[in-house]
Structure 1
Amino acid sequence: MKTTHTFLTLFLVLSFVACKEANKKETNTDVQMEIPETTYHIPDAWIQKRVEAANKKLNSTEAGKVLWSAMEAHGGLEKWFSNGYFSLRFNYQPLNGKGIRDSYQTIDTWSNKARHNSVTDPESVFGWDGNEAWIKAKDSTSFEYDTAFWALTPLYFSGQPFVLDGEGVNLELLPDQEFKGTLQKVIKATYDAGVGSAPDDYYILYVNSETNLLDAFKYIVSYPEYFPNGGHAPEKITVIQGTTNVDGIVLATGFKTYWSTDDKDGLGEYITKIDVTDMSFSPTVPENFFSKPAGAEVLNK
């Protein structure tokens, strides 16, 4: 069993204690506070089947081969899944000071479920259980942003290139391009209609031709709640600011995001700084960890 980072352990304990305390108040009886024995675990056979399917699919096209080589350079898709649940603190800081989003989170990388908790108040939580977005917070100031949209957004930064392995993802090989003095293999990822909450999104990955590591990626936001009449925000480009190895997976420790331009390197105005810390993997989480807790509000009714 791999070592779980102190943050995740503390988070699970605090969440469980808070739940137990709530039950105690409701029933007015003493309850022994202990971590439940039942855990949520994904079988190794399931992981192997998914990795084999991705390997076969990706290596059947030139664009897929580039993506697979990037996955291998970042530690491998099998390692990504078999490490377990991915935890991190993702601190998204627009330079204009508006829309700062800073939370601890744990993500089910197999089925794209997520649970976030406030950096300042561990009892304020929100998440996505695979079907519903939910929130349980002290008041409206706990999370002053669209938590339904944000529940999985950090995964599509910190989980690159692994998050593009699934069904409904279409890859296109674009011409090689120089970026910051290094030749990049470039692939574009789009989605089938109906895939995810924003199927019109796309990502353009810059894969370093020397290391096969991801150096940067372009993307758009087309979330229908933001653009009910269609369309999307202007294209942005996010540049990785450093990496670290966590249980065999190479992960970004930060990003800088710019408006995308047609100039050299495509870097326009620098608009957002992102710090990624407290990264760890855990092989299990408590049963129903990603489900809405008692008293939570469902957001996408």
Structure 2
Amino acid sequence: MKKILLLIIIIIAVSCKNKAKKTSNKEAVQEVKRDNFPDELGKVFTKHGAIDAWRKAQVLSFNKGDEVHTVDLQTRKTVINHPKYSLGFDGNEVWLDETEEGSFKGDKNFYYNLFFYFYAMPFVLADDGITYSKAADLVFKGVNYPGYKISYDADKGSSPDDNYIIYYNPETYKMEWLAYTVTFNSKKPSNTYNLIKYDTWENVNGLLLPKEIQWYQKDEKGNLTEAEGTPLEFTLPLLSQGKLAASFFEKPNN
């Protein structure tokens, strides 16, 4: 039901936008964004539907189990709705609203955008404040996957010391793997990487977004061994150029 209501809201927003008065040429001029990502990553973004198409989108929504994640892509305001709780980021603070105390397990500040980053790959790796450096190939089952390391400026986000490494297929340029560190609690850089296999994708309004991701185990030498647990599936994706009101992301008044 919440997904249907979201779709209705977006349709209305798009309709209102189309009826709005035309702006002057001066108002219509947009700031030119200068990209600094490597050419190879540009090819990855193009393979997944083009970075320009991603930047035109306003709202992204997807389901993870019983959770409905909705994100304003321009402001990164977020709401996660679950039958027993809701949490989100309203642009200023992260909030939590539970039907009964203790329904949500975890740290809301760490969790609210965690799966957005995993789901919005590879496009979130073109955000502002990123430094790119070539990484050693990832080798798995005799295949070499080229990679780029992503690090962040000190003023970006709550965990600027987090690092990612994206690995892609050298022939198709489709994203295949993601390595990432977790520094939210320690607030210190880490060289311990977790590995996710991006194996199943689906077309969502022209963009290739993940349908299923799989964590992998490593041995004491850091080599990939086997899949860990069951794959995580994302369902009911929605990507729109319609804008949601700021109140959508505010904590409910009970």
> Given the two structures, how large is their TM-score scaled by the length of structure 1?
0.70
Task: State yes or no: 1:83 paired with 2:57.
Answer: yes
Task: Determine what percentage of the aligned residue pairs are the same residue.
Answer: 26
- 1:80-119 alignment to 2 at 5 Å? 80-91=54-65, 102-118=66-82
How many angstroms apart in 2 are the aligned matches of 1:47 and 1:79?
18
| Structure 2 portions without partners, runs of 5+ | none
| Structure 1 portions without partners, runs of 5+ | 1-5, 16-34, 59-63, 92-101, 296-301
Aligned partner of 2:3: which letter? L
How many angstroms apart in 1 are the aligned matches of 2:17 and 2:140?
42
Aligned partner of 1:240: which letter? Y
* Bigger shift: residues 173-182 or 103-112: 173-182
Task: State yes or no: 1:10 paired with 2:9.
Answer: no
The structure 1 residue matched to 2:206, chosen from 233, 241, 248, is: 248
The structure 1 residue matched to 2:45, chosen from 61, 71, 76, is: 71
Q: How many residues align?
A: 244
The structural deviation recorded for 1:243 is: 0.8
**What is the match of residue 133 of structure 2?**
172
- 1:18-29 alignment to 2 at 5 Å? none
How many angstroms apart in 2 are the aligned matches of 1:173 and 1:232?
18
The structure 2 residue matched to 1:238, chosen from 189, 196, 203, is: 196
Q: Deviations over 1:127-154 (max 9, x none)?
A: 0122210112212343222222111111
Residues 174 and 186, structure 1, Cα contact 8 Å, conserved in 2? yes
How many angstroms apart in 1 are the aligned matches of 2:199 and 2:183?
25
**What is the match of residue 97 of structure 1?**
none
Residues 14 and 243, structure 2, Cα contact 8 Å, conserved in 1? no
Aligned partner of 2:211: which letter? T
The structure 2 residue matched to 1:284, chosen from 232, 237, 242, is: 242
**What is the match of residue 111 of structure 2?**
150
Q: CA-atom RMSD, angstroms?
A: 3.3
**What is the match of residue 185 of structure 1?**
146
> Given the two structures, how large is their TM-score scaled by the length of structure 2?
0.82
